[in-house]
Structure 1
Amino acid sequence: MSAQILDFPTRPGRLALRLEWFATERSVLLAIWALYFALRVAVLFIDLVPTSDAEWYFSRAASLAAGRGYLDNGGAPTAFWPVGWPAVLGLAFSRFGASAVTLGVFNLVSSLLIGGLTLALGRRLFASEAAARLALLLLAVYPNAIGYVPLALTEVFYTLLLMAGCWAVIVRENRWQLVGAGLVFGLATLVKAQTLVVVPLLFAIDWLRMKPMGKRLPGLVLDALVVLAAAAVVIAPWTVRNRVELGHWVMVSTNGGYTLLTGNHDRANGDYSPDAPVVDRLMARGDLDEVARDGEARRLGMAWIRQNPEKFLALAPRKLARLWLPDGEAEWAYQGGAPGYAGAEGVYRAVRWINQGYYGLLMLGFALALVVMTLRRRHDRMRWAGWWLLPYGLALYPTAICLVFSGQSRFHYPVMPFVCMAAAWVVVAALERLAWRRRRVTLH
């Protein structure tokens, strides 16, 4: 005798109805967007002067806007830092004027586009409208993300480019779209030189997520080559310019060796340490030009690693800690460049501590999402790999870089929208499971 279990229709519980409301009500999404926009506009009213790296980028952008070229502080052609961000900001300056207002509006627009991509990628990676909306909300109230909007640093614009490139690859339907992705990744490389590492990572995830893996591999390799070729078209003019202006072939920038040395020397502590005597002596050498100095820095950095493999490995945990444990570094820009900081230092520090706690919760959700998704897919006998792995692959990208160079918390900034997506998904998954357990049976 066989028995059949009938699942009677059930009346949704209060939690289930609230989840449905959150995921479907248009006013909810509009409210999230209003909060996202208002917080970022509000921070633009803080009086702030660019300092340190931000001052360099702002000055280079102003120089480009004025038609003077990409010059160092002494007025000589340079490639010391990648040109992408100053070049794009310079275009905005040439049209609207070199001012904090132009910078703020540009970053505000970039930040809004980041929000849109967070929503779109959240839907695509985790197949959940509720999780995508919650990810946008988590990013909306994230203090460090808000704090960067008035700053002349690369992070906001670069995050937009990284997300746009990933989106173009994920949703592609033909190779022309891959050309567009390559152009975006090329510009992103001119902002941060190591960006092209992301391209093989994207296609590796794509390869792992579906069968037949063997038959799909040649096509995916060709797709990756299309992206890289398009990126090379964007990068090439700058490389040629460097050959003409500096007398040497420099692909993107001449600070790679310097960065390597500052993270690997006898006084290194896992972070960016430019004040070491060996670095100071090198930068003071007048017999070397910019390219030669960077090459010498690279040689010294590599020599130190070869001669001190134990110390190099011992720095790895410190570099990882510097990269992933602290957050809220945007405060430093206000400490150095906001005239009103001294009068409101307690407020800034309170926000910094609140941000650190919030960041910790986001990273906890990020870690839990990996475990829960793995267990769920295994339980449902689904293929483990999928586009949901992209946030974790992108987190490995700055991790690998910091292990070689140095750990700085700002390096994880572009990964944080993806962290919000994963953390939002695990929260929604937990709430859905709780709502299912509390369902009410209704007899008809």
Structure 2
Amino acid sequence: MSDGASVAARRRDAGAIFALALAARLAMVAWAAGRFPPTADGAYYQRIAERIAAGLGYTWLWPDGVVTYAAHYPVGYPGALGALYALLGAHPAVAMLLNAVLGALAALAVHRLAARAAPRSRAVPALSGGLVALHPGLVAYTPALMTEGVTGSLVACAAWASARARERRPALAPFAVIGLLIGAATLVRPQALLLAPLFAGLALSGSPPAGGPRLLPSLAARAARAAPVLLAVIAALLVCAPWTARNCLRMNQCALVSVNGGWNLLIGADPASTGAWAPVQVPEACREVFDEAGKDACFGREARRYIAEHPGEWLGLVPRKLAATFDYCGAAGWYLHASNSSAFSEADKVALGAVETVFERVVLLAALVWAARRPAQAPGAARRPSLAQRALDIARLALFALGVVAALHVHAWVGYLALLGLALLKGRALLRAPVLVGAALAVLAATAATHAVFFGAGRYALVAFPLLSGLAALAAARQEAE
């Protein structure tokens, strides 16, 4: 097949993946729209979106009739819903349709990333996109008025922008696109801001594009490489800047996006924590603080004080938090059952959870297979492995075995950490890897680090699932395509 025909075929595949992902999610919306009202955090997002649509801003109406400015949860998702509600009406089905479109875009983005990671194959990109398109956890979460699926989609699109920026170096405009997408994700989930410099760095890594400039020596080269990263970070911050200014004005305290970091840190610093969310235990010092931002600041101070005084106990909670995040997701079944238990019973929840868990463990196993491969040797390299290479091979085998056992057992979080460890053993080869690889590992590492500090929940892992599904499909790619 000629290069032109191959490109055309891949574009048709990409369109088919998007259509498949959208059809699966629209079918879910058609079934769920009249059955499942917003619940849990979704009820809060729905109410805030209704107020935004009515021109009342991000404010909260209390039972006694008092209205206050709020910023407890990030504004991005209810703000987007509010804009749509103002145009189309404040019905949860509108939010579900937004989720469906963004979810389909994630499948498309992963397909395009995989097409760059495995340029000689049509099957690998199709498998990557198909895994995202039909991921049971992602598809069934479409009716949920929650933020994790939306964040995962925005992050996948930002990774796609990173791959395009790598191809178009030294142009700076694509790095601004990375920043804009990460900025949008930050307004939905603030910790996404960490990905702006990482994704920009991924665009700068790898081999220079054909005919592009080689690395210049000296300070000028370092400045030239720093500028795109700085541009991506600034663009992300500029997306958030109007909301940050609003918080400084209305909340009596500046906050980049939201004022719940102190709450979450305190929940994750409770010595009785199971690692998951629990009602906050209000410290004595904060009982008379009623201002929303002030209370969050007080909670943060008390949490940091506890951590400084009991670092060992706090670190001992990390395995519980990671287990709560990665061992079992089940977010879709949990939401549907909580919303309408008569339409989605406990047995339905368990069945969906089982299907989703098997799917996610297979994805993890495939990703481990990819990561366990020894990097391809450069032409002319010595065929006989050195002592250091043998030691690496032993470490690689041990981590792979640990990851497989964990993936087949209860504690999948150990398998995800083993995946990160195996990837690091690739050494400098990891710097030359496709953007899909680096982005998937970066999101996984950022998710693990974030919830090791705060607290865990299965739904938080959804953010990493689109890119991890794409990475898993690379196990089927030829070694030289990686």
Give TM-score, length-normalised by structure 2.
0.77
Q: 2:361 corresponds to which residue?
A: 360
SS at match of 2:317: helix
Q: Which has the higher contact order (CA 8 A, sep 6+)?
A: 1
| CA positional deviation for 1:32 | 5.1
Q: Does 1:426 align with 2:465?
A: no
Q: How does 1:268-283 map to 2 (within 5 A)?
A: 268-275=273-280, 277-278=281-282
| CA positional deviation for 1:339 | 5.0
Q: Distance in 2 between matches of 1:129 and 1:274?
A: 49
Q: Which among 183, 186, 203 is matched to residue 186 of structure 1? A: 183
Q: How does 1:132-211 map to 2 (within 5 A)?
A: 132-172=125-165, 173=168, 174-210=171-207
Deviation track 1:334-382 (CA, whole Å, cap 9, x = no partner) reads: 111125335x44233212111111111111111221222x433679979
| CA positional deviation for 1:96 | 0.4
Q: Distance in 1 between matches of 2:380 and 2:452?
A: 36
Q: How does 1:80-95 map to 2 (within 5 A)?
A: 80-95=72-87
| CA positional deviation for 1:326 | 0.8
| CA positional deviation for 1:203 | 3.7
Q: 1:52 corresponds to which residue?
A: 40
CA contact (8 A) 1:377 1:384 kept: no
Q: Distance in 1 between matches of 2:195 and 2:60?
A: 30
| CA positional deviation for 1:188 | 1.5
Q: How does 1:302-381 map to 2 (within 5 A)?
A: 302-341=304-343, 344-372=345-373, 374-376=374-376
CA contact (8 A) 1:48 1:339 kept: no
Alignment CA distance shift 1:390-1:307 (3 Å)? same
Deviation track 1:46-82 (CA, whole Å, cap 9, x = no partner) reads: 2101111111111111110011110134221011111
SS at match of 2:79: helix
Q: 1:241 corresponds to which residue?
A: 246
CA contact (8 A) 2:36 2:336 kept: yes
Q: Distance in 2 between matches of 1:167 and 1:30?
A: 15
Q: Distance in 2 between matches of 1:62 and 1:379?
A: 62
Alignment CA distance shift 1:298-1:25 (3 Å)? closer
Q: Which amino acid aligns with 2:315?
A: L
Q: Distance in 1 between matches of 2:217 and 2:453?
A: 33
Q: Which amino acid aligns with 2:159?
A: C
Q: Distance in 1 between matches of 2:17 and 2:239?
A: 36
CA contact (8 A) 1:148 1:155 kept: no
Alignment CA distance shift 1:205-1:168 (3 Å)? closer
Q: Which among 268, 274, 297 is matched to residue 263 of structure 1? A: 268
CA contact (8 A) 2:144 2:335 kept: yes
Q: 2:25 corresponds to which residue?
A: 40
Gaps of 5+ in 1: 1-20, 433-444
In the TM superposition, structure 1's runs of 4+ consecutive aligned residues that sit over 6 Å from their partners are 25-31, 378-382
Q: Distance in 2 between matches of 1:378 and 1:222?
A: 31
Alignment CA distance shift 1:380-1:290 (3 Å)? farther
Q: Distance in 2 between matches of 1:201 and 1:98?
A: 37
Q: Distance in 2 between matches of 1:377 and 1:88?
A: 48
Q: Distance in 2 between matches of 1:314 and 1:295?
A: 24
Q: 1:295 corresponds to which residue?
A: 297
| CA positional deviation for 1:157 | 2.2
Q: Distance in 2 between matches of 1:351 and 1:113?
A: 24
Q: Does 1:392 align with 2:377?
A: no
Alignment CA distance shift 1:292-1:365 (3 Å)? same
CA contact (8 A) 1:143 1:328 kept: no
Q: Distance in 1 between matches of 2:451 and 2:300?
A: 15
Q: Which amino acid aligns with 1:189?
A: T
Q: 2:95 corresponds to which residue?
A: 103
CA contact (8 A) 1:64 1:70 kept: yes
CA contact (8 A) 2:113 2:163 kept: no
Q: Distance in 1 between matches of 2:369 and 2:443?
A: 17
Equivalent pairs counted in the alignment come to: 406
| CA positional deviation for 1:115 | 1.6
Alignment CA distance shift 1:27-1:162 (3 Å)? closer
Alignment CA distance shift 1:287-1:420 (3 Å)? closer
Q: Does 1:65 align with 2:67?
A: no
SS at match of 1:171: helix
| CA positional deviation for 1:164 | 2.2
Q: Which amino acid aligns with 2:36?
A: L
CA contact (8 A) 1:203 1:220 kept: no
Alignment CA distance shift 1:384-1:83 (3 Å)? closer
Alignment CA distance shift 1:396-1:214 (3 Å)? farther
Alignment CA distance shift 1:410-1:126 (3 Å)? farther
Q: Which amino acid aligns with 1:375?
A: P
Q: Distance in 1 between matches of 2:14 and 2:175?
A: 31
Alignment CA distance shift 1:418-1:380 (3 Å)? farther
Alignment CA distance shift 1:303-1:110 (3 Å)? same
Identity of aligned residues (%): 26
Q: Which among 129, 135, 141 is matched to residue 122 of structure 2? A: 129
CA contact (8 A) 1:117 1:164 kept: yes
Q: 2:457 corresponds to which residue?
A: 408
| CA positional deviation for 1:132 | 1.1
Q: How does 1:18-29 map to 2 (within 5 A)?
A: none
Q: 1:13 corresponds to which residue?
A: none
Give TM-score, length-normalised by structure 1.
0.84
| CA positional deviation for 1:214 | 6.1
SS at match of 2:111: helix
